[in-house]
Amino acid sequence: MKHTKGPWRVFSKFKTGAIDVISANSEICLCRSAEADNEANARLIAAAPEMYDALVRIIDAFGINPFMKARRDMSAEELNGLIKLAVEAVRKADGE
């Protein structure tokens, strides 16, 4: 892994409208757009490690071609777990 380990989270809003995205040990970025979607952008950035993890696991499960069937040794429970990871990451990005 070459990025800062997750989880990342939206930390604070400043009077200027800027929003910090942080990890346990450092600041990841400071979103300081004047646009109304600034908070949504910060949530999307904060969800990046979970999204990355979910995608890596899904790619591993299905191989390079996502239209291939899942590995035969994968149970329905394991497949549902992968889907749950992806759903949770998207919900985090959506602020749910």
Q: State the Cα–Cα distance between residues 52 and 6, nearest whole angstrom.
A: 10
The string of pLDDT tens digits covering residues 62-96 is: 766 555 566 657 788 888 888 888 888 888 888 77
Query: 28 in helix, strand or coil?
Result: strand
Q: Residue 27's beta-bridge partner residues?
A: 22
The predicted pLDDT at position 12 comes to 74
Closest CA to 45 of 96, 93, 95: 93
On the question of pLDDT at 3 being above 80, the answer is yes
The string of pLDDT tens digits covering residues 33-65 is: 767 788 888 999 999 998 888 888 887 777 665
**DSSP assigned state of 3:** S
**DSSP assigned state of 8:** -
25 with 65: CB under 8 angstroms? no
